[in-house]
């Protein structure tokens, strides 16, 4: 290669780098303009302060919370539950005039998530799938049979399903009741498959033996059709109703009103609907104006190019986040090593102390991590922890004043943090005071 050709290659490389720098800078400028627009927009998302998000409650807790909200009553009666029935169940044939003194329970009576009944009048079952749990085989059918055994007629039973996703799929077996449902458990039922959630009838292409077909003859198969008109699947319409229902509660009942609003916002987080459609339209118009886009094929090509540029910028920012995360691991280690010389250290990745077969310390935020910071945690060296290790971890966490539940998993506990040095020091100090670290 002669000098002239080499110079041309270098000039071409310089022009490409200048162009790349230009569009990455444009991407950052667009992000800054967007942030400014959102900050001054009345439709902007609310400040991130939902206590339920922080606690990340499991499904039974959300059932108890909703049951408590529906249980609110005052001199005008059960105003929240009445509103619920008027909005969602009246069109299914529910007579709201029957509401007097409902019994509202959760996680009881045959493990129904929420059960609302008045003897001889009505029975409402609310099935909570807000965390994405699957329907077990015969689940709805077992609830229906139990209510029938208690004397409720078909026209008195109403079913409400709260899914995490709008397009929830309910397996046929959830509505069906096999003849051995009382004499067997969910895992030992004859028509069950290897997966305890499913049944033979969930696989229409499955070929059944003569004996199996004989068993299925006595299965109740028609309840899905029978109760179709008395079943409601609620999604974002449910969270919207909750926000309206808050106004039914007197102003002095601050705890109840706050709980309703927090629960509605928590649902919108699960549904991924916290940004409303008006704000979505405003964002679309903002981008169209900033990028000078019309409705032609050339504009679509321009938009696709901009998306690629933003994706490259995003990848660069993720790599930068990883770098800074690793910097923090090194910094925290350097500040702790004199006090805790037994620390095991992998530069830019983690530092830990091995205590009773558990690694306790901090790890970097991997590039694939959706969070924005390193983590602190307790990791079992040999996989699933023993009961003794779980108790030790609970004592150390409690002694530190940290409010985290211990899981019976290899990661007994972990969380993102920007204060890894402080938390690690607390954990090691607690382990020393409890006699686990010397």
Condensed to tens digits (0 to 9), the pLDDT of residues 330-341 reads 999 999 999 999
Which pLDDT value is given to residue 286? 82
Q: Which of 167-181, 192-206, 380-394 bottoms out in mean pLDDT, i.e. has the lowest? A: 192-206
pLDDT-based confidence at residue 15 (cuts at 50, 70, 90): low
* pLDDT at position 10 over 60: no
Cβ-contact 375, 417 below 8 angstroms: yes
Spatial contact of 128 and 59, defined as CB atoms under 8 Å apart: yes
Neighbour tally for 329: CB within 10 Å? 24
Q: What is the pLDDT of residue 107?
A: 80
Predicted confidence (pLDDT) per residue in 122-176, tens digit: 999 999 999 888 888 889 999 999 999 999 999 999 999 999 988 888 888 899 9
CA distance 149 to 256: 35
Q: What is the 3-state secondary structure (H, E, C) of 87-144?
A: HHHHHHCCCHHHCCCCEEEEEECCCEEEEEEECCCEEEEEEEECCCCCCCCCHHHHHH
Q: What's the pLDDT score for residue 273?
A: 80
pLDDT at 368: 45
Across residues 307-322, what is the average pLDDT? 82
What would the mean pLDDT of 242-254 be, rounded to a whole number?
A: 95
Assigned token pair, 306? 């901009």
**CA 365/CA 361 separation, integer angstroms:** 13
Measuring CA to CA, which residue among 316, 375, 370 is closest to residue 351? 375
What pLDDT is stored for residue 201 in this prediction? 84
Q: Which of 101-110, 294-303, 339-348 has the highest mean pLDDT?
A: 339-348
Least confident of 60-74, 105-119, 182-196: 182-196
Share the mean pLDDT of the chain. 86
| Residue 396 three-state SS | helix
Residue 183 has pLDDT above 60, yes or no: yes
Q: No. of H helices and E strands in the chain?
A: 13, 10
Say what percent of the chain tops pLDDT 90: 49
Q: Choose from 293-297, 360-364, 407-411 the range with maximum mean pLDDT.
A: 360-364
Whether 326 shows a pLDDT value over 70: the answer reads yes
Instruction: Identify which has the larger pLDDT, 416 or 128.
Output: 128
**Calpha distance 360→399 (Å, rounded):** 15
359-386 tens-digit pLDDT: 999 998 765 455 568 999 999 988 888 9
**22: exposed, middle or buried (Cβ count in 10 Å: 0-12, 13-18, 19+):** exposed
Best CA proximity match to 182, nearest among 138, 215, 135: 138
The pLDDT value recorded for residue 372 is 66
pLDDT value of position 56: 82
Q: Worst-scoring range by mean pLDDT, 255-264, 318-327, 423-432?
A: 318-327
- So what's the pLDDT on residue 19? 54
- Token output for 70: 């529906």
Position 1 confidence tier, pLDDT thresholds 50, 70, 90: very low
What's the pLDDT at 63?
94
Mean pLDDT score, 80-96: 97
Of the chain, the percentage scoring pLDDT greater than 70 comes to: 88
pLDDT at 41: 73
Read off the tokens for 20. 């790349």
Q: Quick one: average pLDDT of 290-304?
A: 86
Top-confidence residue, 19 or 106: 106
Q: Could you tell me the pLDDT band of residue 319, with boundaries at 50, 70 and 90? A: confident
Residue indicated by tokens 């607690």: 430
Query: Is 128 in contact with 64 (CB distance < 8 Å)?
Result: no
């Amino acid at each position: 290669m002669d000098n002239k050709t080499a110079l041309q290659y270098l000039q071409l490389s310089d022009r490409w780098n200048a162009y790349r720098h230009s569009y990455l800078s444009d991407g950052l400028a667009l992000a800054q303009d967007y942030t400014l627009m959102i900050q001054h927009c009345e439709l902007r998302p609310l400040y991130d302060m939902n206590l339920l998000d922080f606690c990340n409650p499991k499904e039974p807790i959300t059932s108890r919370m909703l049951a408590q909200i529906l249980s609110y009553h005052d001199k005008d009666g059960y105003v929240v539950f009445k509103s619920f029935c008027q909005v969602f169940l009246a069109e299914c044939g529910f007579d709201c005039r029957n509401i007097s003194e409902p019994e509202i329970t959760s996680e009881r009576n045959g493990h129904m998530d929420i059960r609302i009944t008045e003897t001889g009048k009505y029975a409402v079952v609310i099935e909570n799938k807000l965390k994405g749990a699957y329907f077990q085989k015969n689940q709805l059918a077992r609830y229906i049979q139990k209510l029938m055994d208690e004397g409720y007629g078909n026209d008195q039973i109403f079913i409400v399903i709260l899914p995490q996703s709008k397009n929830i799929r309910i397996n046929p077996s959830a509505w069906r009741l096999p003849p051995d449902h009382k004499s067997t458990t969910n895992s030992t039922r004859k028509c069950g498959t290897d997966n305890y959630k499913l049944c033979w009838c969930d696989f229409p292409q499955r070929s059944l033996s003569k004996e199996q077909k004989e068993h299925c003859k006595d299965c109740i198969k028609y309840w899905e059709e029978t109760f179709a008109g008395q079943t409601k699947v609620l999604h974002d319409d449910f969270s919207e109703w909750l926000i309206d229902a808050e106004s039914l509660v007197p102003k002095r009942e601050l705890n109840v009103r706050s709980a309703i609003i927090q629960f509605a916002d928590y649902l919108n987080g699960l549904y991924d609907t916290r940004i409303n459609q008006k704000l979505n339209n405003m964002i679309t118009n903002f981008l169209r104006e900033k990028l000078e886009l019309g409705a032609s094929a050339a504009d679509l090509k321009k938009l696709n190019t901009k998306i690629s540029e933003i994706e490259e910028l995003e990848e660069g920012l993720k790599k930068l986040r990883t770098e800074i995360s690793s910097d923090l691991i090194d910094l925290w280690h350097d500040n702790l090593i004199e006090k805790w010389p037994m620390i095991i250290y992998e530069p830019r990745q983690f530092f830990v102390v091995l205590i009773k077969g558990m690694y306790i310390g901090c790890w970097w935020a991997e590039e694939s991590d959706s969070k924005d910071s390193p983590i602190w945690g307790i990791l079992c060296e040999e996989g699933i922890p023993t009961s003794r290790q779980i108790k030790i971890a609970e004592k150390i966490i409690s002694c530190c004043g940290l409010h985290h539940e211990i899981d019976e998993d290899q990661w007994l506990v972990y969380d993102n943090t920007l204060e890894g040095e402080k938390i690690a020091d607390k954990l090691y100090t607690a382990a020393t005071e409890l006699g686990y670290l010397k």
